[in-house]
Amino acid sequence: MAIAEHDNVFIFVPNLIGYARIVLAIIAFWFMSTNYVVAGWCYIISALLDAVDGHAARALNQSTRFGAMLDQLTDRCGTMGLLVTLANFYPEYMFWFQLSIAIDVACHWLYMQTSVVVGRVSHKVNDNFVMRIYYQKDVLTFMCCVNELFYVCLYLLHFTSGPLILGASLYKILAFLTGPFAILKALISVMHAYVAGIDLAAVDVRERQEKRHSPEIQNSGKKLE
């Protein structure tokens, strides 16, 4: 039986999943400094639901700008909350966590804002070669997963070494393996800012040119009268 369509964006299925992600993230934040089991599972489930809401949006034809923005903000705030905790757990590396937060938030905000300004259907649509590769479904999923896994492993290592493999901590092994990808993702975030800056500057140039030509058009119109 077909499901009747409606236009109440706020209760679209992917957005309901988005609200659940927010609730889980808040619970994770609350327990993050005291209970790594509850915090860890809530954070991981919230992150995994990121793929579920995207699939639901495509399957149900419920992709919306609101949903895309909700998804981006949840991702950024979730990672930021974890990084704040890591900065507290590893104060000697606080600068790098601060830098990661600044890059992640600033670059993605600029990129999303520019996508809206230039009128793109989706922020994942871009002519830049690097962006086209990065936003391929499998590439994006892999990069997001290994990035989150790196930070989650650092978080867990504060409490426990976890399972041992040949005498080495599994969490530490995973952190070493995923660390380079986390750095690569940060560099790609900087690329987001670069691409967005070029696009936004092009909009400024076009608007300035239109303003300069506008008085000439008006004056020519008066002369014809």
The three-point CA angle 45-48-49 to 5° equals 85
Q: Which residues contact 50 (CB under 8 A, 6 or more apart)?
A: 21, 71, 74, 75, 144
Q: In the prediction, which pLDDT does 143 show?
A: 93
Catalytic sites, residue numbers: 75
Q: In the prediction, which pLDDT does 213 show?
A: 80
Which residue ranges of the chain lie beneath pLDDT 50?
A: 1-4, 224
Q: In the prediction, which pLDDT does 127 show?
A: 75
Q: What percentage of residues in the chain have a pLDDT greater than 70?
A: 91
Structure tokens at 15: 């957005």
Residue-by-residue DSSP string for 165-199: ETTEEHHHHHHHHHHHHHHHHHHHHHHHHHHHHHH
What is the DSSP code (8-state) at residue 218? H
Q: In the prediction, which pLDDT does 218 show?
A: 54
What is the DSSP code (8-state) at residue 136? S
Q: What is the pTM of this model?
A: 0.84
Structure tokens at 71: 């998804």
Q: In the prediction, which pLDDT does 68 show?
A: 85
Residue 135 CB neighbours (<10 A): 15
